Amino acid sequence: MGKALGGSQEAGRENECLGSIAALVLRGQSSPSPLEHEPRKVKLCPAKPQNCRRIVVLGAPRTGKTSILRRFLRDGFADQYEPTSEDFHRKLYQIRGENYQIDILDASGERGFPAKRRLSILTGDIFLLVCSVDERSSFEEVRALRKEIVAAKTKLLKHKTSARVPIVVCVNKVDLDPKDRDVSQAEVGQFLGNDCISFETSAKDCTNLEEMFGALAKSGGLPTETLPSMHRSISIRSYQALRSRRRGARGKRALEPDAPLGALCPLARRPSIGTDLRYVLGSNSARKPKQTS
C-alpha cells in the first residue's frame, strides 16, 4: 500500500514538473534555468539534420503497435501479447550516397502522463496512430489523439489555421473473424476524412503493411528505400565499417554500396527530457519569422 502510494506521488510530481515544462514550450518561452546549465552533450548523428526523422507511435494497448514495429524493423511477428518493454528504436540507412536516420518512439506508455506525451508529440515529425478493428474504444482514442497532435503542433508553430501534420492511421487486426469486427470501413472514412491517410492492416499476415510504411515515408519526405523490402539489412558493425572505408577514401572515389542498406542500432536510447525540450525550443525559434527594421 505504501509503495503504491509512493509511486503515485512520484508520478504526480513528474507529471506536474513536465506540465510546467510543456507549458513553457507551448508559450514559446525559454527553458527553466536547471536545463540551461545542463552540460552540452555531443550528438553522434551520422546523417544530416534534414535526413533525420522521428516517428511517434501512439494508440491503446493490445492494438498491435509492437508487432507493426517489429515488421518495420524486420524482427518477425510474436503471436503472444507482451507489454511494450522497449519504447525507442533507431535505424540508420545508406541510400544513394546519403545517410538517413529514423528514430521510432512508442509513446503509448505515456497515456497516464499527458504532459510527457505532449512533449513527445512536439518532438515528432511523423505520427503513426494504431487502433484495432475489434475494439471501438481504441478507434475513439485515435480520433482524440489526432486532434491533440494537430492542436499541439498548431499552437507550437503559431499557425492561424490548423497545422498540416504527417499522420497515418493504422486500423489493425483485419485478419480477425468479421463477426468480431467493431469498427467498419465506412466509419473510418467518415470520422477521419479525406485529409487523413488510413490503412486497414494485419501485422500477423502483413496485410497492407508495405503500403502503410510507404505512406509514412512519403508523408515524412523520406526515400522509398527506407521501406523494409527496399533495402538490405546489415549489422551496425558492418554499417560503421562501411562508413569508415568511405571516409578513408579521401580524394579517391567514394566506396558506394551497390544497394540501399539499413542497420538497427541495438543500444539506442531515447534522448533526455532536457534534450527533447531544447530541440522543441530550437525548432520553434527557427520557424519564427524574422523581424524587419
Could you list the pLDDT tens digit for every one of the 293 residues in the chain?
555 555 556 556 555 555 565 565 555 444 443 333 333 333 444 688 999 999 999 999 999 999 999 999 986 555 555 555 458 999 999 999 899 999 999 998 888 888 889 999 999 999 999 999 999 999 999 999 999 999 999 988 877 788 889 999 999 999 999 999 999 888 888 888 777 899 999 999 999 999 999 999 999 999 999 999 999 999 999 988 887 776 655 544 444 556 899 999 988 899 988 888 888 887 665 554 444 44
User: How many domains are contained in the chain?
Assistant: 1
Q: Is residue 293 part of a domain?
A: no
Q: Is residue 117 part of a domain?
A: yes
| The three-state (H, E, C) secondary structure of 4-23, written as one string | HHHHHHHHHHHHHHHHHHHH
What's the pLDDT score for residue 20? 60
DSSP state of 131: E
What's the pLDDT score for residue 165? 93
Query: How far is the C-alpha of 64 from the C-alpha of 210, rounded, in Å?
Result: 16
Q: Is residue 108 part of a domain?
A: yes
What's the pLDDT score for residue 125? 96
pTM of the shown model: 0.80
Q: Is residue 181 part of a domain?
A: yes
Domain, as residue range, for 79: 2-286
Q: Is residue 191 part of a domain?
A: yes
Taking a C-beta distance cutoff of 8 angstroms, is the pair 232, 219 a contact? no
CATH classification at residue 61: 3.40.50.300
Q: Is residue 113 part of a domain?
A: yes
Q: Is residue 292 part of a domain?
A: no
Taking a C-beta distance cutoff of 8 angstroms, is the pair 178, 151 a contact? no
Dihedral Cα 110, 114, 119, 125, nearest 10 deg: 70
Q: Is residue 77 part of a domain?
A: yes
